[in-house]
Amino acid sequence: MPDQYIKKILEARVYDVAVETPIDPAPFLSERLNNTVLIKREDLQPVFSFKIRGAYNKVSQLTEDEKARGVIAASAGNHAQGLALAAKQLGIKAVIVMPQTTPDIKVRAVRARGADVILHGDAFDQALAHSMALVREHGYTYIHPYDDVDTIAGQGTVGMEILRQHPEPLDAIFVPVGGGGLIAGVAAYVKYVRPDVRIIGVEYEESACLKAALEAGERVVLSQVGIFADGVAVSQIGEETFRICQSCVDEVITVSADEVCAAIKDIFDDTRSVAEPAGAVGLAGLKKYVEQTNVRGQTLLAIDSGANINFDRLRYVSERAELGEKREAILAVTIPERPGSFKTFCDAIGRRNITEFNYRYHNDSDAVIFVGVQVNPEMETRQALVDSMIEAGYPVQDLTDNEMAKLHTRHMVGGHCPSVTNEVVYRFEFPERPGALLRFLERLGTRWNISLFHYRNHGAAYGRVVVGMQVPESERALVPECLEEIGYHFWEETDNPAYQQFLG
């Protein structure tokens, strides 16, 4: 039972290297949400992540023989840094296998702490398989990033600190979930000491392995995992962590990339610190919980689990934060093609701020514009804006939730091309690393003429491409089969209104 962890958590050896992190108030967010919002600042650890707790607790309890063989782990970055520091502190050789998509800041940080780094695979599971092969080959002692009793106990000290630092009423703790080490440790301790406190797991929607397991009643393996929030990009919840979560976790919430980006901005606004995507997942879930339940006057705490983010990725975060906060609407609006029509449209927009405007001449009668409009969700919903445009006589399509519009069309609007025939459009995602785009193009081949192409590297862990190809009607059915062989995720977008209105 989870209560077996209490003694282990109380005796965990973490403070030789870890620090007791503060709980910071979030005054701006508290006022906005009408609840008291608190943030547990695990981003302030020496390795900028909670992972140092579990890694050090585990390594410090190895036998002399296990230490002599050296330690190894697979990690997307934060466990790697924690293990590297723990091994350095204890004078042990450390080898870390990291996915090739790991942000460079994490790779450099691990190497700086004296560990040997091997880059292998596109996601954690491939790195894990390679690390286990090295264990068999060299006899290293494997240190699991989450599915280990001592690792879980180390992470549980976060829960112990929360209850000691905040003895006042606490309604819920929101914990980011990857493999489950943090939530298992926190839940085991908190539910034993304060069973009235709700433990709510928060997962990035493209790696929601705990939610899938709880719904199925058993551990499942996700067929694919999104790696935007690389620190929680795990395809299967741990065996031991799932056992604890089944009895100690009250609820699991999933959040989108836009919602995570908005949470990163909220953390910055209230603390002037920059969380990594996985670090902000908990707060994104807290905000979604308030929105869904409409609770008021409660005390809610989110764990900020880390701050290891590549600087380049901030460009993407800033672009999507307003969308995640529901403060920007992206619309396709048809206006008359005549002098003065843009001014008339701006009059209809009123005092709302226009954040983006893209247009190119198409014909003599109508113009379709790609427009971003700032909205205040506390005063006006996005639907109310759309309705006001329709009432003013403008045909409107809301593209705010359209991934192709947000990722590609807004950077491509340049007009239609009547001379292009038999065009089909597909959107792709592939792991972003040196040579990835060239590899994609080589795999795409030359069977069909490419008539449209857009790729933009914005610091994310995976590349995004939209491709138009001229495919005769008789060969349309062959396209998905050929694209499956490329091995990347893809979606057909030929009928997407963002394409039809501006590019088709």
Catalytic residue annotation: 51, 305
Q: CA dihedral defined by 255, 258, 264, 265, rounded to 10 degrees?
A: -140
Residue whose structure tokens are 């690792």 = 151
| Three-state SS at 71 | strand
Q: In 351-491, where does DSSP find H-type helix?
A: 382-391, 403-407, 436-444, 478-486
Provide DSSP, 440-465: HHHHH-SSSEEEEEEE---S-SEEEE
Q: In 101-148, where does DSSP find H-type helix?
A: 104-112, 124-138
Residue pair 464/427 in contact (Cβ under 8 Å)? The answer is yes
Provide DSSP, 41-69: EGGGSTTSBTHHHHHHHHHHTS-HHHHHT
| Letter string b/e over residues 444-481, b meaning 16 or more CB atoms within 10 A of that residue's CB | beeebeebbebeeebebbbbbbbbbbebeeeeeeebee
- The H-or-E segment that residue 156 falls in is helix 149-165
Residue pair 265/325 in contact (Cβ under 8 Å)? The answer is yes
Q: In 294-398, where does DSSP find H-type helix?
A: 314-324, 341-349, 382-391
Residue whose structure tokens are 């307003």 = 322
Rg (CA), the chain: 25
- Laid out side by side, the sheet with 71-74 consists of 116-119, 94-98, 71-74, 141-142
Residue 280: alpha-carbon gap to chain centroid: 8
